Structure 1
Amino acid sequence: MNGEAPHNNAESTGNLTRTPLSEQVRRIMLDNLVRGRWQAGQRIVERRLATELGVSQAPVREALRDLQAMRLVESSPHRGTRVGDLSPRRLCQVYPVRAALERLAAELSLPRLAEDPSRLEEHTEGMRRAAAAEDVDAQVRHGVAFHREILRAAGNAVLLPSWESLAVELWTHLSLTRVRTGLHENARDHEPIIEAFRRRDPDVGRLLQLHILGYAPQPIGAS
C-alpha cells in the first residue's frame, strides 16, 4: 500500500492531514461529488482513481465502501461502482430522517447546552463570517459543526454515528447551492435555536426539526 497522501490536483482538493488514507480519499471523493465531477449513474473506476490520487487501490476500495454505506455510490458485479442518486428527490428522503435524529438529540442535549451554548455560538459566528466572505464551503463546515455539537452533547453513542452515516456535509452543501442559497439568511436561521437552548425551551427539538426540514427542496410535514 502506498503510504503517501493523495495528490492534490484541480479536481481532487482537500486539506489533507495525518488521517488514514481511506479517510483522505473519502473526503476528496465527497468534495468531487459536491462539485459535480461525477453525475448520477457515472462509473467510478477504482484503479483509475487510485492512479490519479497516487495511492494503492486499498484506500480507494475502503473509501468506496464507506460511500456505499452512505448510499452515495452503488456497486454491482456487472455494472461496477457508480454514483447514486443525488437528486432533490433523494434530498427530500434524507432530510426527514436527519430531522428526526436531531430532534431527539436536541431534547437529550437540552440540559447541557442550556448551561453552555458557547460552541454553538462560535459556529454561528463562523457562519456569519463565511456569509460576509461569500464562502459557501466555510458556511457548510460551520453549519455542519453546529449541528454536530448538538449530537455530541446528547451523550448517546448511537445517535452521532447514525447521523454521520447520512453524509450530512454533502447534502448540506447541495442544499445551500441548490435550494437555500442566501448565506446571510442561513446564518441567522441558527440564532433562534441557540436562544431556545438558553431558555431551556422544551420545544427546542421540534424547533430544530422544522429548521432542518426548511432546507429541503420542497415542504415536508413534521409532527
Structure 2
Amino acid sequence: MPVPQPAVPQGRGGPLERVPLHERVRRFVLEGLVAGRWEPGDRIVERRVALELGVSQAPVREALRELETMELVTSVPNKGVRVRELTLDQLRDVYLVRASLERRAVMLAAPRMVGNVTVLERHLLAMRRAAVDGDTDEQALHGVAFHRAIVYACGNPVLIRHWDWLGVEAWTRLSLRWLRTELHDNAEDHEEIVAGLRRGDTHLGRLMELHIMDYANESRST
C-alpha cells in the first residue's frame, strides 16, 4: 500500500504566508517523517524534494540543516542526508529542555489566559474522545496543541521560536511510532494545568515542569 504523501503547507491569507520558505520545507519534511514517507536509515534527496515542492535547492538545504541540528537527520559527506535512528536518550534530552521552556512559558502566559481557557478545554475534550476511541495519534496531536496554545500565549517570541525548534509534535509522534513509547495519560494531568490557570496558581510553573518531566520518566522506564 503506498504511503500517503504529506501536503505542502499553504498560506491562505494568514500567518503561514509570512513563514520563511525554508521553514515551510522543514515542516513538509517533518510531516513526511511522521507520516512514514521516510523511515530511519532512508535517504532524503535534496533535489527530489526541491522538484516536488517547486522550489530551489537552497531552502531545502537550509531546512535539512535545521533538521540535523534537531538530530532527526544526519548528513554524511558524499552520501547525502539520511534519517537518523532515534534513541530514548535523545527523547529525554528533548523533554528536559522542553520542561524548562514550558515552565517559563506558562508563567508568562498565565496573566494573559485568566478567564480565557476555552481553547485548552477544546483540546482536553478532543483528548478524552480520542482516548475512548483508542486513537493515540489524535491524542498526541491535541496534547501537543494544548501545550502549543500556552507557549504561543506567553508573548515572548524568542521562547516561542526555541520551543518550535524542538519539534515537539514530531518527537512525540515519532517516539510513538519508532520507539514504541507509551502515550502519557493526557487528559487528567492537563486538567490540573487548566485548573491552575483558572485560579492563578502561583506554583503553575513547577506544575508544568513536573508534568513534562513525567514524560521523560515514563520513557526511561519503557
Which consecutive residues of structure 1, in runs of 5 or more, have no partner in the other structure?
Answer: 1-8
Aligned residues: percent identity? 48
How many residue pairs are counted as aligned between the two chains? 208
State the Cα distance separating 1:30 from its structure 2 match.
1.6
Q: Cα 1:15–1:187, aligned 2, differ >3 Å: closer, same or farther?
A: farther
**Within 5 Å, which residues of 2 pair with 1:19-98?**
23=23, 25-50=25-50, 53=52, 55-58=54-57, 60-98=60-98
| Paired residue secondary structure (1:137) | helix
How far apart, CA to CA, are the structure 2 residues paired with 1:97 and 1:69? 14
Q: Cα 1:130–1:77, aligned 2, differ >3 Å: closer, same or farther?
A: same
Q: Cα 1:140–1:122, aligned 2, differ >3 Å: closer, same or farther?
A: same
Alignment-derived partner of residue 200 in structure 2: 200
1:145-178 deviation per Cα after TM superposition (whole angstroms, max 9, x unaligned): 1111111221112110010000111112134453
Q: Cα 1:83–1:176, aligned 2, differ >3 Å: closer, same or farther?
A: closer
Matched, 1:186 2:178: no
State the Cα distance separating 1:181 from its structure 2 match.
3.0
Alignment-derived partner of residue 5 in structure 1: none
How far apart, CA to CA, are the structure 2 residues paired with 1:79 and 1:206? 45
Higher deviation after alignment, 72-81 or 14-23: 14-23
| Paired residue secondary structure (1:190) | helix
Q: Supply the AA of the counterpart residue of 2:183.
A: T
TM-score, length-scaled by structure 2: 0.79
Q: Supply the AA of the counterpart residue of 1:17.
A: Q
Which consecutive residues of structure 2, in runs of 5 or more, have no partner in the other structure?
Answer: none
How far apart, CA to CA, are the structure 2 residues paired with 1:136 and 1:17? 26
Q: Cα 1:62–1:13, aligned 2, differ >3 Å: closer, same or farther?
A: same
State the Cα distance separating 1:54 from its structure 2 match.
6.1
Alignment RMSD (CA, Å): 2.7
| Paired residue secondary structure (1:82) | strand
Q: Is the 8 A contact 1:127 1:139 kept in 2?
A: yes
Alignment-derived partner of residue 135 in structure 2: 135
Higher deviation after alignment, 28-37 or 121-130: 28-37
Q: Is the 8 A contact 1:43 1:82 kept in 2?
A: yes
State the Cα distance separating 1:37 from its structure 2 match.
4.8
Matched, 1:212 2:194: no
| Paired residue secondary structure (2:157) | coil
Q: Is the 8 A contact 1:179 1:215 kept in 2?
A: no
Alignment-derived partner of residue 12 in structure 1: 5
Q: Cα 1:213–1:102, aligned 2, differ >3 Å: closer, same or farther?
A: same
Q: Is the 8 A contact 2:91 2:171 kept in 1?
A: yes
